[in-house]
A and B are shown apart, each in its own frame.
Chain A
Amino acid sequence: MNRRELLGVLAAAVAGPAPGWLSADGLFARGRTAHRRARGRAFQVFDPHQAETVAAMAEMIIPETDTPGARAAQVPEFMDLLVAESASDEERASFLRGLGDVDTRSRDAFGVEFVAATEAQRVAILAGLDAEVQALRQAGEKAEEHFFQRLKWLTVYGYCTSEIGATAGLRYETLPGSYDGCAEVRASRAAPGDF
């Protein structure tokens, strides 16, 4: 299951425009990345602008609420690892093209790159991407090959399997100790079969 999902998420190429150029925000992100790298968590594939873009998108998919969000769970670092070490060259290029396309959409619609857009503008872009995925799904086409679906899967998987996501967000239990096949549902508890 895991493997199939991963292959699905990183599977085929998505056509998209060339990556955008760096902006002031990108340079700002580069500074943050340099700081992070200094702490020993370098990105292998994402440049600072790309890293900040996926971080912003992941945090919108799983935001900080009363529990931490995707950024705190280091979802961008997890994405970078898989794109760097699991994806094929073609899958990696496809993912990065899809990421560049997010900036193209933002520039076309709002005249700025995604990370420089307002919250409302970013929501509009993600809503548009998500609608494309749902349309593919309803048409019975391969939604998992869409860039945004890949990113969403990586965000969900990366968050839920992180220590912060699994423990603070889902109350993951390593040792349940017993089995009850008909227990009452309690809020925010990981479904056991998911781990």
Chain B
Amino acid sequence: MAVPTFDAIVVGSGITGGWAAKELCERGLRTLVLEAGRPIDPARDYVEHVPPWEMKFRGLGDRKALERDQFIQRHCYACNEYSGKFFVNDRDNPYTFDPAKPFHWIRGRQVGGRSIMWGRQVYRWSDLDFEANARDGLGVDWPIRYADIAPWYDLVEQFIGISGEALGLPQLPDGKFLPPMALNCAETVVKEAIAKRFGGERVLTIGRCAVLSVAHGGRAACHYCGPCERGCITHSYFNSIGVTLPAARATGRLTLRPYSVVHSVMYDEKRDRAAGVRVVDAQTREPLEFRARVIFLCASTLESTRILLNSKSPRFPNGLANSSGELGRNLMDHVMGGGAGGIIPGMEDRTVHGRRPNGVYVPRFRNVTAPHSDFLRGYGFQGGASQAGWRRVDSLPGFGRALKEALGTPGPWRFGFYGFGECLPRPTNFVELDPNTVDAWGIPALRIHCEWSDNERKLLHDMSVTAAEMLEAAGAREVEPFVEQNPPGLTIHEMGTARMGRDPKTSVLNAHNQTHDVKNLFVTDGACMASSACQNPSITYMALTARAAAYAVDAMRRREL
């Protein structure tokens, strides 16, 4: 039987795979999207409106099943009784690490990937970020600057719909925003106090998020039910199932094949091109091959790198497109969990109506205009204010009628700032294939070597100091700074390992996410990142993907590919 042949193959159907599929299909390519996991039917699989009493454990989850099957995934807040099905089975999907240096790899294998349960926060990078490596000499210089990506941010934002407030800050460029969601009363108090005390250096704004504040592109506005990570039947937040994959399908050029675990990319030595991909059918275990003129790896940071490491040939014995030896190196994740909490007094007669799937944001203010003496780069805060209702009641004294009445009464306004900091690129944080471990489909597993450095630890500490300062400026009571000890990976902003760069000797990808070594092979997910900044990265991956797809199609038209 002839090997099925397409114009393009996209590996992965999530945040970046959906964008690659849309752009390649719309630009005329017959595109095969290979997804390792199962198909998702929103009507059947989304559970955002299922009340707790219809869940066996009322949302607490089947603890023993989690301990047995999802002992890594369960560390993610969103891997609960409702959305746990969107996270992988850890026994089928092993990876290894030194127990003294844990890395929590949180993964989703289904059509839509992690775009189903992602955090939905979107922040543009600026030249403060794209110039960071060149400025302090760490890693390699980005081969692009803000001007290269800005129009692609525009394109992505306008298509998927981002609600947010324009601020005019140079370190956090404004985007094409839908109206911002509202702050609640306590957040307004803190915002005004910060503006007064820190005079524009620190700014609190509503989160910029991929949730529709008004109807957009045929999708309904958010109805404020709350738990986006369980899916959204009205497609009011962005995921690939509801937004990019339908656009790709509308062209008539999309073929989406679930249950297709990509084993490796085939390399044609004679023609010096990627010829196609080898696949293991997840259900039948049958080995399959698919061919195409151009291949986009969008399988997620570590999966794309794993596929390349597993694609060995005489020309590339250490992994495809790895003549630099940089493939697998410079793994990063944002360091999270320095911050502070406190009670904002007053407003006892006020509460919120609706569950807003968004919080507040404080853009980076360290090392923006003046260098800080203790650490490089910076961090931003997410957070917000809320009142506990019945969830605080078990800690109140007493029992009986008065305790029961407290169940329906909101408690004080509690405000929390939670920091996300930049991780420096270091070659000592790396992944390789583990020679002794394979997954359920016989594909070699990764061994991950990753740990924080002093710079990340100093950022965490500074987060706790500056968060407490802002709460104190707002007149908060019982201010409690904290510094959590989270392992890398758990922020789920893992990136790097196939970095972009100007020099083929020190980087894997060029300025267009094209591998230096193999011209018809592109990597457009988080693997491409040369530094991490401190902003949530998905919007940047999407913009880079759309940009790379346009470049690839143009190059094919020019017969360069």
Which A residues lie at the B interface, using CB under 8 A? 1-3, 5-6, 60-63, 65, 69, 78, 81-82, 85-86, 126, 130, 133-134, 137, 143, 149, 152-153, 155-163, 166, 169-172, 174-185, 187-195
Contact = CB atoms under 8 A, between A and B. Distances in A.
Contacts of A184: 349-351
A25 to B, nearest CB: 21
B397 interface: yes
A44 to B, nearest CB: 13
B352 A156 contact: no
B197 interface: no
B554 interface: no
A172 B57 contact: no
Contacts of B356: 179, 181
Interface stretch (B289-297, B399-407, B430-438, B447-455): B399-407
12 contacts: A2-B80, A3-B80, A78-B58, A160-B407, A170-B389, A178-B224, A179-B224, A181-B184, A182-B184, A182-B347, A192-B352, A193-B388
A37 to B, nearest CB: 19
A178 B398 contact: no
B239 to A, nearest CB: 20
A183 B389 contact: no
A171 B389 CA distance: 12
Contacts of A177: 223-224, 354
Contacts of A166: 51-53
B400 A63 contact: yes
Given A78-B58, A193-B386, A63 B408 contact: no
B399 A6 contact: no
A153 B387 CA distance: 18
B225 A61 contact: no
B4 interface: no
Given A63-B404, A182-B184, A195 B53 contact: no
Contacts of A137: 395
Contacts of B135: none
In this complex, the member of A65, A161, A184, A190 whose beta carbon has the largest number of chain B beta carbons within 10 angstroms is A161
A193 B411 CA distance: 11
Contact of A191 (B347, B351, B394): B351
Given A160-B407, A191-B390, A179 B350 contact: no
Interface string B216-255: 0000001111100000000000000000000000000000
Nearest to B351: A185
Contacts of A180: 182, 352-354
Contact of A182 (B185, B225, B389): B185
B315 interface: no
A62 B185 contact: no
Interface stretch (B59-67, B86-94, B261-269, B519-527): B59-67
Nearest to A150: B394
Interface string B346-366: 011111111110000000000
Nearest to B410: A191
Nearest to B48: A174
B390 A194 contact: yes
A160 B406 CA distance: 12
Given A130-B399, A169-B408, 14 more contacts: A63-B400, A65-B401, A81-B56, A86-B63, A86-B64, A152-B394, A156-B390, A157-B60, A160-B390, A179-B355, A182-B188, A185-B409, A192-B352, A192-B355
B217 to A, nearest CB: 21
Given A81-B57, A188-B408, A194 B388 contact: yes
Interface string B373-405: 000000000000011111101110111110111
B187 interface: yes
Contact of B399 (A86, A126, A190): A126
A82 to B, nearest CB: 7
B183 A181 contact: yes
Contact of A175 (B225, B348, B408): B225
B49 interface: yes
A6 B58 CA distance: 12
B490 interface: no
Contacts of B411: 191
B181 interface: yes
B399 A176 contact: no
B52 A161 contact: yes
In this complex, the member of A158, A175, A184 whose beta carbon has the largest number of chain B beta carbons within 10 angstroms is A175
Contacts of B349: 184-185
B51 A3 contact: no
Contact of A189 (B393, B398, B408): B408
Contact of B352 (A81, A153, A171, A181): A181
B192 to A, nearest CB: 14
Given A85-B64, A166-B51, A183-B352, A190 B389 contact: yes
Contact of A62 (B52, B347, B348, B403): B403
A86 B57 contact: yes
A194 B223 CA distance: 17
Contacts of A63: 400-401, 404
Contacts of B183: 181
A102 to B, nearest CB: 14
B53 A162 contact: yes
A57 B59 CA distance: 24
Nearest to B411: A191
A191 B387 contact: yes
In this complex, the member of B62, B188, B404, B405 whose beta carbon has the largest number of chain A beta carbons within 10 angstroms is B404
Top 3 A-B pairs, shortest CB-CB distance: A191-B389, A181-B184, A188-B408
A181 B388 contact: no
A5 B510 CA distance: 48
Contact of A176 (B80, B353, B403, B405): B353
In this complex, the member of A86, A152, A156 whose beta carbon has the largest number of chain B beta carbons within 10 angstroms is A156
Contacts of B52: 161, 166, 195
B51 A172 contact: yes
A195 B357 CA distance: 12
B393 A187 contact: no
B182 A3 contact: no
Contact of A195 (B226, B347, B352): B226
Contacts of A194: 388-391
Given A161-B58, A162-B53, A174-B51, A182 B393 contact: no
